[in-house]
Homo-oligomer: A and B are copies of this chain.
Amino acid sequence: MNEDYLITPWEVKGEIDYRRLIENFGLSIFKKLPEEFYKEILFRRKIIFAHRDIERIFNAIKNKEKFVMMTGLMPTGKFHLGHTLIVKQMIFYQKLGAKIYIAVADLEAYNTRKQSLEKSRKIAEEYIANYFALGLKEENCDIYFQSKRSKDSKKSNAYYSLQNLFARYVSFNELKSVYGEITPGKILSSLLQASDMIHPQLPEFEGQCPVVIPVGIDQDPHLRVARDIIQKIKNPKFIQISSTYNLFLPGLKGGKMSASDPYSYISLDDSEKVIEEKIYKHAFSGGKPTAEEQRKFGGDPDIDVCFQYLRMLLEENDEKLEEIFKDYKSGKMLTRELKDYTIKKIKFFLTEHRKKIKDAKKIAKKFI
């Protein structure tokens, strides 16, 4: 892999060429989707664009066998619209019968971002409340902090021991080739993440079973390390993990929606006024400079941030989306109209969400 094109969980440099990533990382594209998956726009519209070993999950669902969906949460910055992509996937798999494991990566935040455990706890509480408000059910969920795995000591001992046992199966050269520059903090984080991903299969937890880990492409290095460990470790034995890869929801100005730049994201507690300002003034548009030009030459929905929000998240109706695509491309629909429609959709989404957030906060407290 090129130095100027390094994707690590700690930084994403340059523009992302997904086709190239699929090749470089050895991912697979979806051949045929089971009906349940096709119903979900993230799969149908290829927002989730690649996978490793997803067949194992398709089979578990088909045969009504136990399986786990595992994900992590980096407790930094505000919870924003971009985060909802992963939450949709949690809810999706939960409805299909998965046990949901969510790791709050407070030890990783401590080691790689110098953030205190106290601050991580506060931020995580907001994130988790949002999960429940968005529709995650508290039943069949195991949400935990890396620094406090469980109230059951057998589980805690098993989880942390696994991190230590894994150290025997990785070399510096492997870690360097996967992560680029490494530090002791990154090594510990990587092995603890491997334990996050693999420990659900320990006898103290679910026992051997398929585990799916939906991620953004920047998290694949962690998955490669974990997969490699599973191949090497003989006792205990684990079923190889499955993973899927979703596009990033673009930031308002294009690029990644980043929690550290408020003008790149829409927060779920932004006021209606702030949302209007962010969309009207800051959302990158595929439209032409003037209405006349737009009418004449049409806009480019593929680079228009609002259109991407509709496609990836807000517009469930394929026919409506197609209509907007055509109208915007042909010049029948102006940028202002597209922005109006997107704002209406965001407002509706947030109004629904706000009705639920108060109760959700109470549920979240139970997990803190």
Q: Which residues of A contact B (CB under 8 A)?
A: 107, 110-111, 114, 116, 146-153, 155-157, 160-161, 163-165, 167-168, 170-172, 175, 183-185, 187-189, 191-192, 235
Q: How near does chain B come to A160, taking the closest CB pair, in angstroms?
A: 4
A–B complex contacts, Cβ < 8 Å, 7 sampled = A111-B164, A148-B161, A149-B153, A160-B160, A167-B184, A170-B184, A172-B184
Contact with A153, one of B150, B165, B192 (Cβ below 8 angstroms): B150
Number of copies: 2
**Contacts known (A157-B148, A192-B164); A184 close to B185, Cβ less than 8 A:** no
Q: How far is the CA of A146 from the CA of B107 in the complex (A)?
A: 19
Q: How far is the CA of A168 from the CA of B170 in the complex (A)?
A: 20
Q: How near does chain B come to A21, taking the closest CB pair, in angstroms?
A: 26
Known: A107-B164, A153-B156. 12 other contacts (CB 8 A): A110-B164, A147-B161, A147-B165, A149-B157, A150-B157, A153-B153, A167-B185, A172-B184, A175-B184, A184-B187, A187-B187, A187-B188
Q: How far is the CA of A176 from the CA of B22 in the complex (A)?
A: 37
Q: How near does chain B come to A226, taking the closest CB pair, in angstroms?
A: 14
Q: How far is the CA of A123 from the CA of B356 in the complex (A)?
A: 57
- Find the B residue at minimum CB distance from A107: B164
The 3 lowest CB-CB distance pairs between A and B, nearest first, are A160-B160, A153-B153, A167-B188
Interfacial chain B residues near A191, Cβ < 8 Å: 184, 188
Interfacial chain B residues near A153, Cβ < 8 Å: 149-153, 155-156
Main secondary structure of the interface of A (DSSP, over half): helix
Q: How far is the CA of A151 from the CA of B188 in the complex (A)?
A: 24
- Find the B residue at minimum CB distance from A151: B153
B151 and A156 form a contact (CB under 8 A): no
Interfacial chain B residues near A168, Cβ < 8 Å: 110-111, 114, 185
Interfacial chain B residues near A157, Cβ < 8 Å: 147-150, 156
Q: How near does chain B come to A23, taking the closest CB pair, in angstroms?
A: 29
B107 and A165 form a contact (CB under 8 A): yes
Interfacial chain B residues near A167, Cβ < 8 Å: 111, 183-185, 187-189
Interfacial chain B residues near A114, Cβ < 8 Å: 168
Contact with A147, one of B148, B164, B171 (Cβ below 8 angstroms): B164
Q: How far is the CA of A186 from the CA of B324 in the complex (A)?
A: 58
Q: How near does chain B come to A291, taking the closest CB pair, in angstroms?
A: 55
Interfacial chain B residues near A148, Cβ < 8 Å: 157, 161
Q: How far is the CA of A184 from the CA of B235 in the complex (A)?
A: 19
Q: Which of A116, A149, A167, A185 has the most CB of B within 10 A?
A: A167
- Find the B residue at minimum CB distance from A106: B161
Interfacial chain B residues near A170, Cβ < 8 Å: 184
Q: How far is the CA of A150 from the CA of B175 in the complex (A)?
A: 31
Q: How far is the CA of A264 from the CA of B287 in the complex (A)?
A: 84
Interfacial chain B residues near A172, Cβ < 8 Å: 183-184
Q: How far is the CA of A191 from the CA of B155 in the complex (A)?
A: 21
